[in-house]
Structure 1
Amino acid sequence: MKTQVAIIGAGPAGLLLGQLLHNAGIDTLIVERQTPEYVLGRIRAGVLEQGMVELLRQAGVARRMDREGLVHDGFELALDGRLVHIDLKSLTAGKTVMVYGQTEVTRDLMAARRESGAQTIYAARDVVPHGMKSDEPFITFDKDGETWRVDCDYIAGCDGFHGVARQSIPADCLKVFERVYPFGWLGILADTPPVHDELVYARHERGFALCSMRSATRTRYYLQVPAQEKVEDWSDQRFWDELKKRLPPALAEKLVTGPSIEKSIAPLRSFVVEPMQYGRLFLLGDAAHIVPPTGAKGLNLAASDVSTLFNILLKVYREGRTDLLEKYSQICLRRVWKAERFSWWMTSMLHHFDEHDDFSQRICASELDYFVNSEAGRKTIAENYVGLPYEAIE
């Protein structure tokens, strides 16, 4: 088998890259180790930056998002019982975010790829990239008892934090930056109306809470819990009772509860690997970086990686600009580190850290108070939340 760009991973990053390249007349093959049903079963983020929204429109996969997604002009910070509104639209000259679940993004991208006739191979085993430092890279995988080889020009590793792409790069060629937080997010999905028409990020002495939604009838709520907590120890009733304690009384009274559809605990970490490429292998999304979900940046960072690699490859194939290939990592990392900083800052400001002494707690409270009560501070929060601009490829 032969293709121009072999993509490892059929999550939203791999599918979006494949769709953009296909639309540009560049041949792709996507190889995914899981089944389509498994991929769609992952419950993930749902806040899309304006840049990602525009990228999905560019890819021609935004019709359902534009029809069903919820445009949000702002969000609320619940700080020890009081609500502070962050008006994204007015603070960023009209920019907004879109609430539309990652599962739905993936579903739309899968449908578009099927309609295009481009090939995706699911349930592929033992996927391995080879020859990344050569001019003739290739990948191998097993499928239905046979071993297959795919020759290509470039390999895109979009297979997540635990995927094979990053693990195929010699360890001494990578520098890892990581911070693991001493807590996780206990999340619950329920078919209940949202408690508020905007997202609510709550800072409370009992711990952080987030009120989010997937639609006008489906909600996603989160609680900060210790890292060692077990999801089976949390009944629905215990979750709802604790959430009410962390919300301002006026919101707690409005909270509609119901049986959970899904419940899980996600650990929090900050992670970056440098560089994000090795020869003709390029890392995208969670394969290269992880952010705490507090800033809603994980999926959006993957989209900006996709935009960067797509625009570089476009110039490579159309203009012969192979000089741009070595710039991929540095361009991506400039934006990655800014998003890491913002996600770390939001996490540090809004969560309760048991190891913080009284002085540290007061400093965090004072810094947050400064930002939310300053026009410049609120603008800084807003412009990071809606997403910093993508860097032009020239």
Structure 2
Amino acid sequence: MRTQVAIIGGGPSGLLLSQLLHRKGIDTVVLERKTRDYVLSRIRAGILETGMVELMRKAGVGARMDAECFTHEGTVIAYGDEEFRVSFREHTGSDVIVYGQTELTRDLYDAREAEGGKMVFNVENVVINDADSDAPFVTYTVDGQTQRLDCDYVAGCDGFHGVSRQTIPLTVRREYEKVYPFGWLGVLSETPPVHEELIYSWSERGFALCSMRNANLSRYYIQCSLSDSPEDWSDDNFWEELKRRIPACHAEALVTGPSIEKSIAPLRSFVTEPMRWGRLFLCGDAAHIVPPTGAKGLNTAASDIHYLYHGLVQFYEEGDPEGIDRYSEKALARIWKAERFSWSTTNLLHRYPDQSGFDLKMQRAEIEFLRSSEAAQKVFAQNYVGLPY
């Protein structure tokens, strides 16, 4: 089998790239390790920057998103029983939307299937061959049978644990990482959100986040120890701890209920450079990870797709390789700014095991400065709604 662009990974970034290229007449094949149902069972964040929203519309898959999403014109920052709101609309003229990643991925799958997109599921033993040559190809097995996919380019959208990044030799690849000494315990419940916008809450007991998926589906998080497991936390214990970490007015209004999903996510900041080696391009989690504070994970993947899509279109339509030659440079310039925002917001709102009394006073002073400074709120809002591509 032959295609123009082989895409490793059938998550939202790989599907979005495939759909965008299809609308420009560029052929792709998507290889996915799991099944469609498995991919759609993964619970992920649902805050979309303006750039991601526009990419979905450009891909022709924005109709349900536009009809069902929730627009957020700001967010709430809380500390103790104090809180304030940062208005995205006031400071940037823009906003973000809430639309679950599962639904976004479902829309992309439906579009690729309706348009005859080539997707291969349950692939194993994927190997990217000759990526540093003019004739790369991918080998893989399905049902025990070895297959070969020849292509012009390979897009590695297969996540942190995928094969794409590992294909780049260690003599070329350089990795930067910070592992945080805590995780997030997340609970999904069929309850109405406690507030119409997100609440990011600092407390002496640790960070908490009140989020949502829709009007009757809420997502809540609390900072926890990396040694914890979800089984250590009963639903009642979770709700009681969450109430201790958010302002009393919200704790009293909180509607609790049985969890329908409970998990713990470790936090890390990670970037690999370069994001291109020969004819292999890394996208999304294959190249970088951000802590979830600030909702940048899916959105940083979207910016990668933006640069790669435009670079490939420029090459196939005009014969000009400038866009793909500068892909890594452009993508990394924006990624490091998103990493900075996620890192700084994580440092602002979380409790660290070794924090001194001085550290805590400085953390509170930073929060109060954000509350009192219009300039600081503007910078926060600009980063939250998404820096320009």
Q: CA deviation at 1:352?
A: 0.6
> Once the two structures are aligned, what percentage of the paired residues are identical?
57
CA drift of 1:360 comes to 1.7
Q: CA deviation at 1:356?
A: 1.4
Letter in structure 2 aligned against 1:27 = D
After superposition, the C-alpha distances for 1:224-276 in whole angstroms (9 at most, x for unaligned) are 00111111010111000100111111100000000011000000000000001
Indicate yes or no: 2:274 matched with 1:275: yes
One-letter amino acid of the structure 2 residue matched with residue 168 of structure 1: T
What does the per-residue CA deviation read over 1:345-379, in whole Å, with 9 as the maximum and x for residues that have no partner?
Answer: 10000001121111222222212221221000000
Task: Tell me how far apart the structure 2 counterparts of residues 323 and 279 of structure 1 sit (CA, whole Å).
Answer: 14
TM-score scaled by structure 1? 0.98
Please tell me whether the aligned partners of residues 296 and 342 of structure 2 are also in contact (alpha carbons under 8 angstroms): yes
What is residue 147 of structure 1 aligned with on the other side? Answer: 146
Contact 2:159 2:286 (8 Å CA) reproduced: yes
Equivalent residue, structure 1, for 2:223: 224
- Residue 222 of structure 1 aligns to a residue whose secondary structure is strand
Q: Which residue of 2 aligns with 1:24?
A: 24
Give the Cα–Cα distance (whole angstroms) in 2 for the partners of residues 5 and 386 of structure 1.
Answer: 31
For 2:149 and 2:80, how far apart are their aligned partners in 1? 56
- Separation in structure 2 between the aligned mates of residue 255 and residue 60 of structure 1, nearest angstrom: 38
Q: Once the 2 structures are TM-superposed, how far is the Cα of residue 389 of structure 1 from its aligned partner?
A: 0.5
Distance 2:323 2:214 in 1: 41
User: How far, CA to CA, are the matches of 1:342 and 1:131 in structure 2?
Assistant: 36
Asked whether the 8 Å contact 2:131–2:278 carries over to 1, the reply is: yes
- Give the corresponding residue for 2:90: 90
The one-letter code sitting in structure 2 at the alignment partner of 1:4 is Q
For the 8 Å contact 2:208–2:245, the answer to whether it is kept is: yes
Query: Quick check: 1:34 aligned with 2:34?
Result: yes
What's the counterpart of residue 243 of structure 2?
244
Per-residue deviation, 1:322? 1.5
**In 1: Cα distance, 2:12 partner to 2:205 partner:** 35
- Deviations along 1:19-52, one digit per CA (max 9) or x if unpaired, are 0000110000000111111111111111000110
Which residue does the alignment assign to 2:120? 121
- TM-score of the aligned structures, taking structure 2 as reference length: 0.99
* SS of structure 1 residue aligned to 2:171: helix
Question: 1:294-336 deviations in whole A, cap 9, x for unaligned?
Answer: 0100000000000000000000001111233221101000100
The separation in 1 between residues aligned to 2:222 and 2:177, in whole angstroms, is 23
2:37 aligned counterpart, secondary structure: helix
Q: Within 5 Å, which residues of 2 pair with 1:1-394? A: 1-92=1-92, 94-390=93-389
SS of the residue aligned with 2:360? helix
Post-superposition Cα deviations, 1:119-150, rounded to whole Å, max 9, x if no partner, equal 10010111111110000001011012211101
List alignment gaps of at least 5 residues for structure 1: none
Aligned length: 389
User: Is the 2:16–2:108 contact (alpha carbons within 8 Å) kept by the matching residues of 1?
Assistant: yes
Q: Secondary structure at the match of 1:388?
A: coil
**RMSD of Structure 2 on Structure 1 (CA):** 0.7
Tell me, in whole angstroms, the C-alpha distance in 1 between the residues paired with 2:360 and 2:174. Answer: 32
CA distance in 2, matches of 1:197, 1:323: 44
Q: Which runs of 5+ in 2 are unaligned?
A: none
